[in-house]
Structure 1
């Protein structure tokens, strides 16, 4: 059946919106109580779509659902993670708001609970009054944990994909009516971490926010230009964006012209540091349904190949000509933040771009703010961030209260183009999840120096870099068995569901974990008698992509929150996905780019722990001899997460803390000086295992630490302490763990003011 209409102008937009609205209601209709639907939307809802339009929606549903029969009795939303690699789902989520942090469990959901939740959603849908964007946002907020009958796929994902595909077929109406579009933003790491100078943390946060906003803004701009709703947006975040659009000449011409214009704007503003790579691939319904067994994966493979070709040739002839024609504004001066010299500098040696990032940072840490995109400069709004429009013009972003945005809309119609809500906003706002947690001191965002000063013991800044293991493989082949069987139809709802859940964890639930006041896991502590203590983490999220993290904070809090994240992620994914992390300790004055590079090396070491990854690398690399006598860099403090938690911290560090704390209370005089000597013997034995004399020296020193007999409690603890340390020193792996525990303990009790203290980790 061919069904094609040319949609353009305001009339086309309204017609497309009405069609999408009606499709959404029809897609949701089987899931709500009939009497509620009739009361809310009238008895003639079934005839709202024409026969041809109903046929389009049935075809769209067939692509999404496939040959499987929907399990209407499914009590809760089965975990998408349980489906990876052919797994059998058994854990489920309860119906709840999308921002609610819950870990799936083996549980049952009462029909009455589902009915009440659907009633709430329908009440809000009725208030949308035919407007598709608020309606989609209602569904995202209320139905992201509501089952669709497709294992692992929420009703929100099923319904919005059916709307998306039906709209594409209605407009394209050809053999391959779908255009899978991907945009990449390479060079994120360089853009973020190659800056320096005073106030670098503010600039870093602004740049991170700008990247998130730029990606979301570009996708929204494209959809608006094409008169399409946000149902067509598959995924945005972490430098990658995907959308399914109608495969028409108008779509392709708009994409080419608009993205070329945006790249010209980015080139002139950032001198080549930022650029959007884009590609698209036409596809049909049978291909999306994976007919032939490999068609779905081949679509993405062809798309990725096109993007790789553009990565290898980022600039066209006009772009290269422009770059080569640029001259230094002042050959003897460069920006003190980005080190650029092509733009004029102000009296503070800042280029206009870095000044904008610095001056706009104050609004980012303020809770309750929204990002309003305006067509003109708002003189009362302070320094704005600048974004490109699709025609290459400047648009301006101000952080303001939602009430301010509404007032500006009323007083200056047309000034506010759209509002992005970093938090849980209203249904008329565009969601912009950020993971933007920031610890404050005196109501101001902490500095590197302030965070280091919050540390226990030695004043060091901790830097965490983490990344989900084997995520690319999970997206490419994690659902291969289900696609082969035809159980699910297209892979789109599965990959979209996986993307949404990961985004929720790293950009929304992350804040709940760091706030420390609630959540599904108890906060972890390096100090044994602080177990269960809840308080906001002394840390700042610099960057949180869809699957990776860069967090800075007080060094001990960074180690602790990394375990919180590991435990929460394990509960959230059921262990089907893991992440590896590197944690470095630095002076707060250590250059940012060096912190980023050093911690990236640790992260790579953690991922290389073995084929299963799931590792943690701490502190830094050490020069150690190998079996052949050569010296090489080794991450000595490298562990699987559970080994670090249970054997390094719980078993060994807590014992050190308990013993030396009691020794201090009893004034036994066997404090840190003895521990330094024990550590020295252990290190010598670790480097030269054949020199058993160090075992004897270790045992002799332990014997000298024995307390007097009248100190019964300390004597009992000493017996446990000395026996276990002597056992551990003789086993290579236990000795390595003991050295890590000693390093942690000495850092916890050491202060930077101690005379003669060495300055490790970045001085």
Structure 2
């Protein structure tokens, strides 16, 4: 890449709200969610392609594109080229306004470097300009008219409304999985169609001008095909399989399709069936992982450079990790029951049996640390446990809140946040993750072997929470009484003696909390209780 003189930043806002605005009614929630996730990725890709072409740049000017955001960097642009980019942004906004019912919003920032401005400073200025643009949603649709052109921001009537989303007018009559006839809007109809065709598809083709039989995608026509090769008249192509002709310059070398569990007929496994595959309680785990301090890492990669090659290499490594390596992992046991909602750039969101999602979080962190510790990057995560019938949007909101907790609140005994996991009511450093996992599994196994009643876990949890609420409360004496009255002697044979020695160690450290096992006892016990809950129990 030559010396950078202009930065273009694009951003889709409202992504998570739009992504999870998928009703559970009508069946096929997993199928529709997969289609919606792919739709968002494609909109961002199309926006980047349209802006690149508008200013006369090629795909090599794309520095990164992930999670609805992209960065283009290239030579100086004349004002005419900037005007063309702004016009493209207006057209993209107008299409999103109508197509998504104003749920997705597009913002663009153009920043030209002046007087030898260092790239990190230029990037920060571009980010600030982008934030200002995001604070004025849809202002680009109003034009320069000094009067308020209210008609530009009025959506068409939604009567009769879509039976699924209730946000757009119903246009298509379909029968759902329960053989109930429903009236769907164009967006929900296309989500269903795309979700049905994706499992057997090989290519996503973008055509311009759009053919009559193609799905409308911000000025392009989208075709989903399973042909051996993409159509010769396709402008751009995304491969949905691992193998594709590398000599075909139309193919965008980025993985957009993500792993989902499938039935033998290749259709997605629905969330209620995934919950039934969990150990113990039939719950789903909604996992959100996100890299820490990425902005600082990008600024460091650009420090003293005339271009953004260092940023692009780091971005490509991150995208390869989240979009390719992790997706490949999910294709094989023990991770194949995990549904990757989105993954790319520097974060992921997935849904699956709670215990599999929890174990996967620890495995990902180990891989991430090996790949990016030298770049100064760490990972934080949040795991929410929800019933399979719970709206997946609410589960994602809970996971988001837990991720924010991991990024902003130091774990008990720590002094700084980040590089942490939040789950089961506590936050801990990844260095203590193995302690949480191994101790919880140990307790669960003792319960399964009838070495300790499951009720003892509840007793220990009550005592641990009482200690955390009031350090001066006489909780340790109650713990000593509970252990002395109920637990086998420490000299007992095998696992019985092991159980008592574990309890004695806990008692000895209960007040001081020097060991991670003591500090994180509530999370450990909640994990063990969840793992040993039978499906017949109706517990909170």
**TM-score of the pair, normalised by structure 1:** 0.62
Cα offset, 1:364, TM superposition: 2.8
Q: Which residue of 2 aligns with 1:466?
A: 289
- Deviation readout 1:316-373 (Å, 9 max, x if unpaired): 375563454435332xx5434433045656451421111111221123344x611112
Counterparts in 2 of 1:426 and 1:713: CA distance versus 1, 3 Å: same
Q: Which residue of 2 aligns with 1:614?
A: 419
Residue of structure 1 aligned with 2:85, choices 233, 237, 255: 255
Distance in 2 separating the partners of 1:709 and 1:208: 54
Residue of structure 2 aligned with 1:747, choices 522, 530, 534: 530
Alignment of structure 1 residues 139-288 onto 2, 5 Å:
161-162=1-2, 178-198=5-25, 199-224=28-53, 228-246=57-75, 247-283=77-113, 287=116
Structure 2: gaps spanning 5 or more residues: 143-148, 174-180, 411-415
- 2:192 maps to 1:358: yes
Cα offset, 1:250, TM superposition: 4.8
Q: Which residue of 2 aligns with 1:649?
A: 437
Q: Which moved more, 1:705-714 or 1:189-198?
A: 705-714
Distance in 1 separating the partners of 2:485 and 2:359: 34
Counterparts in 2 of 1:265 and 1:658: CA distance versus 1, 3 Å: closer
Alignment of structure 1 residues 493-508 onto 2, 5 Å:
493-508=309-324
- 2:343 maps to 1:544: yes
Cα offset, 1:706, TM superposition: 4.1
Distance in 2 separating the partners of 1:593 and 1:227: 40
Cα offset, 1:459, TM superposition: 0.4
Whether the aligned pair in 2 keeps the contact of 1:659 and 1:721 (CA below 8 Å) is no
Cα offset, 1:569, TM superposition: 0.5
Distance in 2 separating the partners of 1:495 and 1:204: 31
Whether the aligned pair in 2 keeps the contact of 1:458 and 1:752 (CA below 8 Å) is yes
Alignment of structure 1 residues 331-370 onto 2, 5 Å:
334-342=161-169, 344=171, 346=173, 348-366=182-200, 369-370=202-203
Alignment of structure 1 residues 257-656 onto 2, 5 Å:
257-283=87-113, 287=116, 295-316=118-139, 318-319=141-142, 321-322=150-151, 324-330=153-159, 334-342=161-169, 344=171, 346=173, 348-366=182-200, 369-374=202-207, 375-377=209-211, 385-389=215-219, 395-403=220-228, 405-406=230-231, 409=232, 414=233, 416-424=234-242, 425-427=244-246, 428=248, 429-434=251-256, 436-442=258-264, 443-476=266-299, 478-479=300-301, 483=304, 489-516=305-332, 535-574=334-373, 576-610=376-410, 611-619=416-424, 636-645=425-434, 647-650=435-438, 652-656=439-443
Cα offset, 1:563, TM superposition: 0.6
Whether the aligned pair in 1 keeps the contact of 2:318 and 2:344 (CA below 8 Å) is no
Whether the aligned pair in 2 keeps the contact of 1:513 and 1:564 (CA below 8 Å) is no
> Over the residues paired in the alignment, what is the CA RMSD in angstroms?
2.8
- Deviation readout 1:153-211 (Å, 9 max, x if unpaired): xxxxxxxx14xx6xxxxxxxxxxx94322222122122212333333332222121112
SS at match of 1:538: coil
Whether the aligned pair in 1 keeps the contact of 2:90 and 2:141 (CA below 8 Å) is no
Distance in 2 separating the partners of 1:643 and 1:260: 49
- Deviation readout 1:76-123 (Å, 9 max, x if unpaired): xxxxxxxxxxxxxxxxxxxxxxxxxxxxxxxxxxxxxxxxxxxxxxxx
SS at match of 2:112: strand
Distance in 1 separating the partners of 2:151 and 2:71: 29
Counterparts in 2 of 1:714 and 1:310: CA distance versus 1, 3 Å: closer
Cα offset, 1:605, TM superposition: 0.8
Distance in 2 separating the partners of 1:685 and 1:279: 52
Distance in 1 separating the partners of 2:138 and 2:496: 72
Distance in 1 separating the partners of 2:491 and 2:85: 83
- 2:517 maps to 1:729: no
Q: Which residue of 2 aligns with 1:531?
A: none
Whether the aligned pair in 2 keeps the contact of 1:185 and 1:274 (CA below 8 Å) is yes
Counterparts in 2 of 1:244 and 1:701: CA distance versus 1, 3 Å: closer
Cα offset, 1:542, TM superposition: 0.6
Cα offset, 1:454, TM superposition: 0.8
Distance in 2 separating the partners of 1:612 and 1:490: 34
Q: Which residue of 1 aligns with 2:177?
A: none
Cα offset, 1:717, TM superposition: 1.9
Counterparts in 2 of 1:321 and 1:356: CA distance versus 1, 3 Å: same
Counterparts in 2 of 1:310 and 1:671: CA distance versus 1, 3 Å: same
Counterparts in 2 of 1:745 and 1:437: CA distance versus 1, 3 Å: same
Whether the aligned pair in 1 keeps the contact of 2:447 and 2:532 (CA below 8 Å) is no
Whether the aligned pair in 2 keeps the contact of 1:423 and 1:432 (CA below 8 Å) is no
- Deviation readout 1:648-676 (Å, 9 max, x if unpaired): 223x2243245445x43xxx6x4213333
Whether the aligned pair in 1 keeps the contact of 2:98 and 2:155 (CA below 8 Å) is no
Structure 1: gaps spanning 5 or more residues: 1-160, 166-176, 288-293, 390-394, 484-488, 517-533, 620-635
Q: Which residue of 2 aligns with 1:108?
A: none
Alignment of structure 1 residues 697-736 onto 2, 5 Å:
697-707=478-488, 712-732=493-513, 734-736=517-519
Distance in 2 separating the partners of 1:462 and 1:578: 22
**TM-score of the pair, normalised by structure 2:** 0.86
Q: Greater share of helix residues, 1 or 2? A: 1
Cα offset, 1:570, TM superposition: 0.4
